[in-house]
Amino acid sequence: MDRLELAMDDRLNQVQTTDLTDSRVNHDFVIWLKTKGMNWLLAILLVACAFLGWDYLQKQKSNARDQAWEELSSATSPAAFRGVADAHATQDAIAELAMLQAGDTLLRSILSGLKPGLTVEDEGSSLTGEERTASLVEADELYAAAARMAAGRPGLGGKPVGISALFGRAAIAEASGRLEDANLHLEAAATLANPEYPALAEQARARMESMEALNGASDLPSQSSLVVPAVDGETYTPPVAEDLLEFFEEDEAGTDAELDAASEENPASP
């Protein structure tokens, strides 16, 4: 019995000690909550809110970027491209790409002679002389704006757009008859393309050479500048179109007169 009582006493002491320890821990935790717990909970809450806010901003930026590219891909007219450039001026390279595509749209219109978005079957689709001139001016302004925006972009990111814009300005200058300006734009494109894009630089130089060859071939000498040979001591004058027509008319009249004379000399037998 003594041993059993001793064992029961030891067990009771252990239980009491455990209860006291648990009670002390709970008491310390309650004190910690009252003194520092709220501060820690507030800090954790602030971190969670900051993370949620950062995640929301990232989603908003992603949605804005997706919307900008979607609007750029769906635009078809120069006015629509201008609207995209104004609405998303700070989004990636949207603004300069929109200006570049607006210039390309007008350039295709100038080359085809049709208003943007219209076909040959559409009534009033042909460009008038005034509209063509206005399109040339507007397209050059759009290309210039695209090149200016691309030049302000750091690194190599703006070079492709800048080179394309200079090629576009060269095409507009050539279509306007300003071959010197076209050569200047092509030379600038070749300079900008080196050394990262040697193929584009070579293309610009080849275009400059072809323009020079075409310009030389189109400069035909005038008739007054030709050396006039002498035939039998008399100056030979090359015939013009009116002289040739008169020659054929006189030759035809002479042939008719000979036929009439022959018919009078040899009247038809009865």
pLDDT in tens, 165-217: 999 999 999 999 899 999 999 999 999 999 889 999 999 999 998 888 776 65
pLDDT of residue 210: 87
Domains of the chain: which residue ranges?
A: 10-68, 75-217
Q: List residues bridging with 231 in a β-sheet.
A: 234
pLDDT of residue 269: 47
Take residue 51 and report the two structure tokens written for it.
């993370």
pLDDT of residue 149: 92
pLDDT of residue 213: 77
The mean predicted confidence, pLDDT, of the chain is 78
DSSP state of 230: E
pLDDT of residue 211: 83
pTM summary value: 0.64
With a cut of 90, say whether residue 152 has pLDDT above it.
no
Distance (Å, whole) CA 176 – CA 182: 9
The string of pLDDT tens digits covering residues 5-62 is 555 555 555 655 565 555 665 666 667 767 776 777 788 888 999 988 888 888 888 8
Measuring CA to CA, which residue among 121, 112, 85 is closest to residue 101? 85
Distant-in-sequence, close-in-space partners of 38: CB < 8 Å, separation ≥ 6: none
Least confident of 36-50, 101-115, 145-159: 36-50
Query: Quick one: three-class SS letters along the chain?
Result: CHHHHHHHHHHHHHHHHHHHHHHHHHHHHHHHHHHHHHHHHHHHHHHHHHHHHHHHHHHHHHHHHHHHHHHHHHCCCHHHHHHHHHHCCCCCCHHHHHHHHHHHHHHHHHHHCECCCCCCCCCCCECCHHHHHHHHHHHHHHHHHHHHHHHCCCCCCCHHHHHHHHHHHHHHHHHCCCHHHHHHHHHHHHHHHCCCCHHHHHHHHHHHHHHHHHHHHHCCCCHHHCCCCEECCEECCCCCHHHHHHHHHHHHHHHHHHHHHHHHHCCCCC
CATH says 75-217 is which class? mainly alpha
- Percent with pLDDT over 90 in the chain: 36
The string of pLDDT tens digits covering residues 57-99 is 888 888 888 999 999 999 999 999 999 999 998 888 899 999 9
pLDDT of residue 40: 78
pLDDT, mean of residues 96-112: 93
Q: 265 versus 85: which is more confidently predicted?
A: 85
pLDDT of residue 82: 93
Distant-in-sequence, close-in-space partners of 6: CB < 8 Å, separation ≥ 6: none
pLDDT of residue 184: 94
pLDDT of residue 270: 43
Exposed, middle or buried: residue 13 (CB in 10 Å: 0-12, 13-18, 19+)? exposed
* Confidence class for position 156, pLDDT limits 50, 70, 90: confident
Distance (Å, whole) CA 186 – CA 201: 9
